Amino acid sequence: MRNAALQSRMRERELRQRELAELVNDAISQLTGRVGEVSERVVRRWLTGQTRWPQERQRLALEAVFGCPILELGFIPRGAAVPVTPEEPVHRRAFITATATTALSAAAPALAASRVGSSDIERLETKFAALIASDHRHGGRVTIETHALALADEALTLQQLGTASQRIRCGLYACAAAFTSSAMWAAIDGRRFDTALRHFDRASSLAAMSGDPTIQFRIWSHAGTLYRHIGRPADALATNDVARNLSIGRRDPMFASLGHARHAAIHAVTGNTGATQRAFGHAQDAFDRADPHADRPLWLKAFYDQAEIDSLALSAYLSLGNYEQAEAHAHRSLAVLRPHMHRSRAITTTRLAQAQLGQGDLEPAVATAMSVPADAATRHVRVAGMLHSFTTKIHATAPHSPAAHAWDQYAHDTRRNLA
């Protein structure tokens, strides 16, 4: 008998079998510290009813993903004849993310009597750390976006149904804003721009209620990047200015540096070389003044460093058509890029190939493009899009060259091997 409840939940979240498998594996990793091994075949067995009661770690992960007890997902315990209906209360609060209305109503009695405190904030921050790590490894995936939104709803559930001090309530809003901003960034990275705009609206409202200038900075800075990517530089400059004018930028040079660096990338899109160079100069000066040991939010410490400044400069000088300068920044970025930045390394390497191709160095450009990990080259939307542009340009530049032929053959073989 098919598992109609699970199929319905997947349809609500617009999840394909592969995406659910990835999300469950991420949850297993966070819950147990071990990599999950759920495949599309396993998900298919759940949907067809061949597997009626998954392994315990898979059940816990499914509860975390969908935010409801496992019995509400249509699974049947061993020895039971029929599924338990959603009205029969089964509480597994430690792993529930409470994203559906039925899950909220089922959890309400337990939560209403509880006091929300610092330990709940710390638990959410631990999940945020795992989400950030997943983003740096995979980037842009719908599964990351979906998981982030579920965690935001978990924070808001505690806000609505628990009792807490004003400080804790502000912290819960900050957590919800942080998770929503991660969903926004995943949508930007995955080129789902309309979705990202919707997340921006919600994230900015939650951040305002939190009163936390650091998360407000992150959201408005993300918005500047979003508008830059969709070709609205005036809006990009305006929203990034909101971030740069927050008090945190005046108190901490590291935030000021990020604001200047992203402003520089926006100026480059408009073709303003002078403004781009001045902004990068301000970004570098502020970065050099910042105390590297100061207490800062995890999301900032996880990605912003000298490698990111050079990565943004690489992007900017590509936009300006200054390929030699772009290549120099690419090499500097790659030399100091931290090991966990898998997505950033793939993006920077792809841009390096574009910079080399822009200078007419066909063989080095192709060799660099071939060094991009195959998984990122085919499954990361932004990287795949840049490599498609690389293909178009090499065909326009030297369509019959050995380098172009070698690249076409490599791209064909890579797609076939990963199909």
Residue 419: per-residue pLDDT? 52
Q: What is the pLDDT of residue 31?
A: 62
Amino acid at position 158, single letter: L
Which residues sit opposite 163 in a β-bridge?
115
Residue 28 has pLDDT above 90, yes or no: no
**Spatial contact of 156 and 176, defined as CB atoms under 8 Å apart:** yes
* List of residues 6+ apart from 154 with CB closer than 8 A: 67, 96, 97, 98, 99, 124
123, 129, 66, 51: which is closest to 98 by C-alpha?
66
More confident site: 316 or 84: 316
- Tokens for 153, please give them: 């709803």
**Bigger pLDDT: 278 or 130?**
278
Strand partners, 115: 163
Please write the tens of the pLDDT for every residue from 76-102: 887 655 444 443 333 333 333 333 333
Q: Is 115 helix (H, G, I), strand (E, B) or coil?
A: strand
CB 20 within 8 A of CB 65: yes
- Per-residue pLDDT averaged across 221-231, rounded? 96
Structure token pair of residue 406? 């070698």
Name the residue type at position 236.
A
pLDDT on residue 199: 95
pLDDT band at 316 (very low <50, low <70, confident <90, very high): very high
- Distance from the Cα of residue 341 to its chain's centroid: 12
For 98-135, how does the pLDDT look when each residue is reduced to its tens digit (9 = 90+)? 333 333 333 444 444 478 888 888 888 888 888 888 77
Closest alpha carbon to 207 in 251, 232, 243: 243
The confidence score (pLDDT) of residue 174 equals: 94
* CA–CA dist 373, 118 (Å, integer): 41
Query: Mind listing the pLDDT tens digit for each residue in 150-163?
Result: 899 989 988 887 78
Nearest in space to 224 (alpha carbons), one of 184, 278, 272, 281: 184
Secondary-structure breakdown of the chain: helix, strand, coil percentages, each rounded to the nearest 5: 75, 0, 25
For 297, other C-beta atoms within 10 Å of its C-beta total 18
Residue type, 37: E
| The pLDDT value given to residue 164 | 80
CA distances from 9 to 47, 60, 104, 191 (A): 11, 16, 15, 24
Residue ranges per structural domain of the chain: 4-88, 114-211
pLDDT of residue 296: 94
Tokens standing for 408? Answer: 């076409």
Residue 12, C-beta contacts closer than 8 angstroms, at least 6 positions apart? 100
DSSP string, 251-269: H-HHHHHHHHHHHHHHHHH
Q: pLDDT digit string (tens) for 162-213?
A: 788 889 999 999 999 999 999 999 999 988 999 999 999 999 999 999 999 9
* Range list of β-strands (E), 141-287: none
Rounded to the nearest 5 degrees, what angle is found at the Cα of 229, between the Cα atoms of 375 and 210? 95
Which pLDDT belongs to residue 1? Answer: 82
φ, ψ for residue 244 (rounded to 5)? -65, -25
Q: What does the pLDDT look like over 345-397, one tens digit per residue?
A: 999 999 999 999 999 999 999 999 999 998 888 778 889 899 999 999 999 99
- Whole-number pLDDT of residue 123: 87
Q: What is the CA radius of gyration of the chain?
A: 23
